[in-house]
Structure 1
Amino acid sequence: MVESMIAELYKVINICLGTPPTSFTLNLKDEEQEARFSPRTFYERMIAPHFALDARVSLGHDPRPSASYGRNYCIAHSSNMMSGLLQSYNNQPMDVLLEVMAKSLAAGSAVWLACDIQRIFKNNDGVLSLKTHNFEQVFGMPVGTALDKADRMLFRATSRNTSLLVTEVSLDALHQPLKFGTARKTAKTNAVKNTESEESIKDAVDTVDKTKAKTKAAKADAAKRKTSMGQATVLHVDWLREYAFEIVVDARFVPPGVMQALRDEPSEELPIWDPMGALLS
């Protein structure tokens, strides 16, 4: 049935989004020139020489009794391509994931992370920690501690709903990870902001009076400040133990025993609705 619908689905996508280009033009601003690529040649020339996709491996943390550490798992129907690879991972204790993350980041290699950022953690300070909310002090009793991570997965109280690119790690005196962080957006310098603001005002004056131009420039400048003041997300180890599920990391930083399990262990297929496959939906 899937094969018979491919042509129909492709037609619908083309009508709604447009026909995918066979090639595209990339503006290379640093060298003030342009280059024309197809998707494949773009990968071969711009990505493959600097980033080895085949060298990345996926490690997961599923503490449910039904899951075994050291075993490989894959998610049924998780490929977005015909005959493509299924989403797969090797299940490991959280201590292994934290160790691998710390080694990778210390060497300057970023880590992809799948996690569960629940509503109570979506605050403005960008800190994910179990200690940011002291419910026991407010209510006089423990809150949210009745279920551990495995039970929350069993009862669908947690699932992988967010992916982050982790780029930083902080270690203690014993070189154990304390917290991790995502990249902070680079804020524009005042000189750049002032230049852009002046150009925006000049363009506006050509079509509207000076009062409207100043208003428009002020709004534009405020929007620029808002988008340029990117805030990093800090992920404490206590939070990761409860709400992190999977990482993708360079194989160089994975212990040899884990790599052997990735290569040799058989893979068990999980249904698409399994909590470990929730990020796909």
Structure 2
Amino acid sequence: MERTLRTEHLELFDKDFAARPAYRLMQNAVTQTAVADIALDRRVVTGIDGSVSHLLDDWKVTNQGKSGRCWMFAGLNLLRVGAAAKLGVKDFEFSQAYVQWWDKLERANYFLEAIIETADRDVDDRTVAHLLSSPIDDGGQWHMFAALVRKYGLVPKVAMPETDSAAATGAMNGILRKVLREGARALRALPDEPARRERKEEILKVVHRVLSIHLGTPPRTFLWQWKDDDKVFHRDGWLTPAEFADTYVQLPLDDYVCLVHDPRPSSPAGRLFTVQYLGNIVEAPPVVYVNTEIDVLRKLAMDSLVGGEPVWFGCDVGQQMSTELGMWDVRLYDYESVYDTDFGLGKADRLLHHESQMTHAMLFTGVDVVDGAPRRWRVENSWGEDKGNDGFWTMNDSWFGEYVFVIAARRSALPANLTAALDTDPIVLPAWDPMGALAR
């Protein structure tokens, strides 16, 4: 075909479409019914049930609302299991708004530091343009969550409850972006680093003000008392967030590392990676991960669940997903039959061609093991009880292989070669690499 789309091409396409009864049938169906309902493969749906051989959850799910806080919800959901057990209650939540507040302030500082560092570059430099495209977002990664807990501790939800802006971040984020982009322009116009750092303090003062207006003021101390499920009253007295975290976080955060399955040819397995300008707290340990094979992620996740511990993970959530049914399967929707074409990109090509990236973090809370291998997975989502099975979802293992990208695992559980990789200098990927997408 030549470069220009001409009338004869259009006529050819029209004739081809009109000559196929199956195409006209699909047109009739899809113009009246959502295409996902047409493409849903009944054989896959009836072949999935939610039962698993190893089930950990007996608690209610949380709800991140209209926000991108999945990574911190998943992290707090992991930690609340041990906290609830120590408190003697079935259901307990740490304050998500508290972690959110400190993440926003720290991330604003992180962004401004990146602007100062790149102040000598043109504003349309690709890295500068990437930074300015989204100065502050809701997303994040495991290391960013752990860094916040280490620096600021945690509080129970009653000490800093959700606000309208905590659960629906659009308006707040819009104002913060304005503040930070104007701040970036001001910083770049100043003559030297001392002047920029002085101005940065003024910008952060405004960010602090915006966060306090939208989310409230994070407590420095709070009175903690509660009644357990046996109706016994307890009082710990006045605690700082650090003291509360030290008492009720039962997992060793510093022992957790991230493993990623990135099959792109440019990302060799067994190597340590990081992404430029990926983080939230300046001078915190960098966001790093070891790239490895998908079967390593499978086994470590399965072993953790069989051993009684949920698993934090990140994935491309919207692919082959039914919100109504609360399930994922790699063949859940037969779009090939609807459109009479092939969608054959593999995982590596989907990453390379921007068809896939990490978009959501959740928690594995169960696994169905058959002959020593996982067959399906139970997932605690943070989209509330009205989606899935009271908020819990079912993932067939076929989907795990194609769309799960990262898990947080205990360093002590890793094979020796991956443990050794953690102590090497990381390969630095550019700021816009899809392996950093969960934070965006």
Aligned mates of 1:229, 1:159 — CA distance in 2:
26
- Alpha-carbon shift at residue 140 of structure 1 (Å): 4.9
Matched residue, 1:84 = 284
> 1:161 and 2:320 equivalent?
no
Contact 2:319 / 2:403 at 8 angstroms: preserved in 1?
A: no
Matched residue, 1:280 = 439
Normalising by structure 2, what TM-score?
0.50
> 1:243 and 2:403 equivalent?
yes
Q: 1:256 aligns with which of 416, 426, 435?
A: 416
> Residues 83 and 116 from structure 1, CA distance in 2 versus in 1: closer, same or farther, beyond 3 angstroms?
same
The aligned runs of 1:50-69 (5 Å cut-off) are: 50-69=250-269
- Alpha-carbon shift at residue 236 of structure 1 (Å): 1.7
Q: In structure 2, give the amino acid aligned to 1:56.
A: Y
Structure 1 counterpart SS, 2:392: coil
Contact 1:75 / 1:277 at 8 angstroms: preserved in 2?
A: yes
> 1:9 and 2:240 equivalent?
no
> 1:73 and 2:236 equivalent?
no
- Alpha-carbon shift at residue 26 of structure 1 (Å): 2.9
Aligned mates of 1:176, 1:161 — CA distance in 2:
26
Contact 1:71 / 1:266 at 8 angstroms: preserved in 2?
A: no
Aligned mates of 2:389, 2:268 — CA distance in 1:
43
> 1:150 and 2:348 equivalent?
yes
Long gaps (5+) in structure 2: 1-111, 114-196
The aligned runs of 1:60-209 (5 Å cut-off) are: 60-118=260-318, 120-142=320-342, 144-145=343-344, 147-173=345-371, 175-183=372-380
> Residues 280 and 183 from structure 1, CA distance in 2 versus in 1: closer, same or farther, beyond 3 angstroms?
closer
> Residues 14 and 226 from structure 1, CA distance in 2 versus in 1: closer, same or farther, beyond 3 angstroms?
closer
- Alpha-carbon shift at residue 229 of structure 1 (Å): 6.1
Contact 1:75 / 1:86 at 8 angstroms: preserved in 2?
A: no
- Alpha-carbon shift at residue 91 of structure 1 (Å): 0.4
Matched residue, 2:120 = none
- Alpha-carbon shift at residue 135 of structure 1 (Å): 3.5
Q: In structure 2, give the amino acid aligned to 1:164.
A: M
Aligned mates of 1:246, 1:228 — CA distance in 2:
22
> Residues 258 and 119 from structure 1, CA distance in 2 versus in 1: closer, same or farther, beyond 3 angstroms?
closer
Which structure carries more helix by proportion?
Answer: 2
- Alpha-carbon shift at residue 84 of structure 1 (Å): 1.8
> 1:34 and 2:235 equivalent?
yes
Contact 1:168 / 1:181 at 8 angstroms: preserved in 2?
A: yes
Aligned mates of 1:249, 1:86 — CA distance in 2:
17
- Alpha-carbon shift at residue 74 of structure 1 (Å): 1.4
Structure 2 counterpart SS, 1:34: strand
Q: In structure 2, give the amino acid aligned to 1:240.
A: F
Cα offsets for 1:179-207 (capped at 9, x unmatched): 2112499xxxxxxxxxxxxxxxxxxxxxx
* Greater RCO, 1 or 2 (C-alpha within 8 Å, sep 6+): 1
Normalising by structure 1, what TM-score?
0.76
Cα offsets for 1:11-66 (capped at 9, x unmatched): 3323433332211233322132333321111111111xx21111111101111111
Aligned mates of 1:227, 1:121 — CA distance in 2:
12
Long gaps (5+) in structure 1: 186-224
> Residues 32 and 66 from structure 1, CA distance in 2 versus in 1: closer, same or farther, beyond 3 angstroms?
same
Q: How many pairs were matched up?
A: 237
Contact 2:312 / 2:408 at 8 angstroms: preserved in 1?
A: yes
The aligned runs of 1:263-274 (5 Å cut-off) are: 263=423, 265-274=424-433
Which structure carries more strand by proportion?
Answer: 1
**What's the RMSD between the two structures over aligned residues?**
2.6
